[in-house]
């Protein structure tokens, strides 16, 4: 699911840890941003620039995803790194969520964005 469908929608709550972020919309629908773990990869929330609470209570004016892949190792055990950026904004502020995925190049390093119930959250 592409995060851009959130444009104009209002987030009422955000819960997170280093593995996932759950967004609850004002209509009660919950979405989760996470990585589907397979085997030999590591995908985590590397950094959040801005305050997630700035996204709560006002319609989203920006909801974009971008990523790039780098074949320089992140650690000595990795051959591939994927950076995924989520840029979200309301009238109250702007937030960039940066995910880092690393692996030997044979496993997914992507981030998923799905209905929380469908993903088991």
Q: What is the DSSP string of the chain?
A: --GGGGTT-BEEEEEE-SSEEEEEETTS-EEEEE----SSEEEEEEEEES-GGGGBSSB-SEEEEEEEEE-S-SSTT-SEEEEEEEEEEETTEEEEEEEEEEESSSS----EEEEHHHHT-
Q: Could you give the percent of the chain with pLDDT greater than 70?
A: 92
Highest mean pLDDT among 14-18, 34-38, 68-72, 104-108: 14-18
- Predicted confidence (pLDDT) at residue 79 exceeds the cutoff of 80: no
Q: How many domains does the chain have?
A: 1
Identify the domain containing residue 98 by its residue range.
Answer: 3-119
pLDDT tens-place string over residues 22-49: 999 999 999 999 998 777 788 889 999 9
């Amino acid at each position: 699911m592409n995060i851009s469908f959130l444009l104009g929608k209002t987030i009422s709550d955000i819960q997170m840890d280093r593995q996932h972020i759950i967004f609850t919309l004002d209509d009660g629908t919950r979405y989760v941003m996470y990585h589907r773990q397979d085997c030999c990869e590591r995908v985590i929330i590397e950094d959040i620039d801005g305050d997630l609470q700035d996204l709560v209570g006002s319609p989203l004016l920006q909801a974009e995803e971008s990523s790039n892949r780098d074949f320089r190792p992140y650690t000595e055990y990795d051959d591939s790194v994927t950076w995924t950026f989520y840029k979200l904004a309301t009238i109250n502020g702007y937030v960039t969520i940066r995910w880092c995925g690393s692996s030997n190049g044979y496993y997914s390093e992507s981030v998923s964005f799905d209905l929380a119930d469908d993903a088991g959250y």
